[in-house]
Structure 1
Amino acid sequence: MVDEALEETGAVQQRLRKIPARVVVYLLLAAALFEDCGYLAVWRKLTAALEAIPVAKVTGTALWDARTRLGVRPMRALFDLLRGPATAIRTDGARFKGLLTVAIDGTYLDVPDSPLHRARLDKSTNQYATSGYPQICLATLVACGTRAVLDAAFGPRSSGESVHGKRLMRSLRAGMIVLLDRGFSGNTFLTAVAATEAAFLARVTAARKPPVLNRFDDGSYLSRFGGTEVRIIECEIAITTSQGRQTGLYRLATNLLDHHRYPASGLVSLYHERWEIESAYFAIKKSMLSRRVLRSRTWAGIAQEVYALLSAYQILRIAIADATEATPGVDPDRASF
């Protein structure tokens, strides 16, 4: 797959080099697994088992030059080859009434506080000061049955997660139901989702007061967001943790208008699956990154890192799905990352 990505993007080296393009891809993937190391230390881990074979002596500058020659396109192409629902089509709980259950949400990753990143990404500010690291916004489309990534888009935090989320419409299609949090419940975003022929189930803000056009016997009612007809479901959800129990009122909107085939109670239960994308982000940001700042001080380097991180995550997710599939009755989301 690495060779295919390099060939597709015209990134295969034209002459024999100390660090061929294929090796640079593996270096970037290894860096996603050894996030606490600099690239020279990652190189030593990558080549540690090759004691019987002469290994090229490299410097930090040589690794940087090799990454610069490679560029971003091969890493994006590799991620495109890997992304998908893994075994979600065959996994119990991956579908709702025949619809593949997916979720879109955004998260934020810290990048080095360099002049270049500050100029492009800016930093968080409040009424007192500017603080923290510059950040990028990462929006992903995740298959809830396996937490595998179907697509991803990222860019400056200032653009907002719904802007980056719109780039994921290319991967939505009929036969899917996409779960959305309040940040993605605007009329424009929901209209764009509906245009892909995918179904949606979105939480809307409490401040929104949708008109009641018709009431159904399951407690939901027909309404309209812009030019899109929706059903509104109002429900009470209790969250119980070691800190206690908290109850909140949720208002959900869906373009599944048939209340007989898609009763309100079933949709309320389904919305709990949206938490799978939060668990996916926990695996990426805590298990893999350990909350660390990304390494690169250039935008191209950050893009390489993000695609390598997503590719490494996806490879592990595929392995988890394959392993759990071999054990009847085990759900992929019960497997330890």
Structure 2
Amino acid sequence: MPAHCQARQRLGAAPLKALFDLVRGPVATTATQARWRGLLVVAVDGTLLPVPDTPANLAVFAKQRCNNGAGGYPQVRLAALVACGTRAVIGAAFGPATTGELEYAGRLAGDLRAGMLLLGDRNFAAADLLNRLAATGAHLLVRCKSGRRLPPVARCGDGSFLARLGALTVRVIDAEISLVTSKGARTGHYRLLTTLTDPSAHPAAELIRLYHERWEVETAYAELKSTILGGRVLRARTPAGVEQEIWALLVAYQVLRTAMTDATDSVPGTDPDRAGFTVALSAARDQLVLAAGIMTETVIDLVGVIGRHVLAHLLPARRVRTKDRIVKRAISKYNARGPAIDRATYKATISVNMLTTDP
């Protein structure tokens, strides 16, 4: 076994976990996009990471079930709490994929605080979980199934209504969202649950538009899995090594996010969304290869080499999303999804119609 592998085994996962606890957090930013009406906007979601198919890993991490039994690589389920404005990681929990997202999301409750607004998809609309998360003092904005039965206990002047989920009072907002491009139009029905029950202080139309920020956690996962890992399987061949590697991955991601936010904050009015993660990662790798950027002075440059590369290659303003998520890495050379996928970009107009219920 190579000496560096033996050294990693002796080190273990605890120091990497402690380092993550040191650097994790929403990352301070002057950008107004990070907050909505004074609340820090955060999102929670889960993803799967494949690990090497070794006997040691198989004893802990199961393979995904398919028609003929289990297939592919063993998988780790990772759940993260991400600040939507900067995509920085506030907290993370992971383990065997046989444990569901809701369990890991519940473990992140300790990272929630009063003054936060948590966004979540339909999978996180379970009553027990919402009560547990709301008990932290954080506010919630979660989508649920459109047909979910929620008897009103009170009506709000804007057409939304109040309902009960266990001990929790939530405001139910129904909306119709239409997207129009030169290729046609699409309309979807959304039902949102929120603990922000005052319609005058927290307008429903703004909450409906704000919910789209939930996609920032998906982008963070894409940066972890596609940009840093390049779509590759993790390398550790034991569960202890997998734990160490995931904490190291999260530390590297968080350090880059911090550097990117420091850079965009140095230019007032620059949205953190315009910082390119690939640019920052390439600059960081160059610094490691060249053994450059080692601090020898007491004056700390918050922008630094990575930040200057980011500012020199700012991305254009975010475009409107018009497509569902699709798998970019084909599992077959045959056309399993019918006609070719249209990857063209179109100018789009989004309209939000709040739906009211009869008294």
> Which category describes the TM-score, using the shorter chain as reference length?
0.7 to 0.9
Matched with 1:210 is: 150
Matches within 5 A, 1:85-100: 85-88=26-29, 90-100=30-40
C-alpha change, 1:243 and 1:164, in structure 2 (3 Å) is: farther
Give the SS at the match of 1:158. coil
Corresponding residue for residue 76 of structure 1: 17
Give CA-to-partner distance per residue, 1:58-116, whole Å, 9 cap, x none.
xx43122111110110000000000011124x221111111111111111101111122
Q: Is the 8 A contact 2:31 2:270 kept in 1?
A: no
Describe the SS at the equivalent of 2:177.
strand
Distance 2:256 2:248 in 1: 12
CA apart distance, 1:328: 1.9
Percent identity of the aligned residues? 51
TM-score by length of 2: 0.74
1:235 to 163, 170, 175: 175
CA deviation map 1:202-251 (0-9, x unaligned): 00123421111222121211111111110000112245789865321111
Deviation readout 1:5-52 (Å, 9 max, x if unpaired): xxxxxxxxxxxxxxxxxxxxxxxxxxxxxxxxxxxxxxxxxxxxxxxx
Contact 1:111–1:135, Cα closer than 8 Å, also in 2: yes
Moved runs in structure 1, 4+ residues, more than 3 A?
A: 238-246
Query: What RMSD, in angstroms, separates the aligned Cα atoms of the two structures?
Result: 1.6
Could you tell me which residue of structure 1 aligns to residue 313 of structure 2? none
On the 8 A contact 1:219/1:264 being kept in 2, the answer is: no
Alignment of 1:48-197 (within 5 A): 60-88=1-29, 90-197=30-137
Give the number of aligned pairs: 277
CA distance in 2, matches of 1:125, 1:237: 35
Residue segments in structure 1 that go unaligned for 5+ positions in a row: 1-59
Partner SS, residue 271 of structure 1: helix
- C-alpha spacing 1:118/1:242, structure 2 compared with 1 (3 Å): farther
Question: What amino acid is the match of 2:255?
Answer: I
Partner of 1:311: 251
3-state SS of 2:235 partner: coil
Q: Note if contact 1:180-1:202 (Cα within 8 Å) is conserved in structure 2.
A: yes
Contact 1:105 1:180 in 2 (8 A): yes
For structure 2, the 5+ residue unaligned runs are: 278-359
Q: For 1:294 and 1:112, how far apart are their aligned partners in 2? A: 7
| TM, length-normalised to structure 1 | 0.79
The answer for the alignment partner of 2:310 in structure 1 is none
- Flag the structure with higher helix content: 1
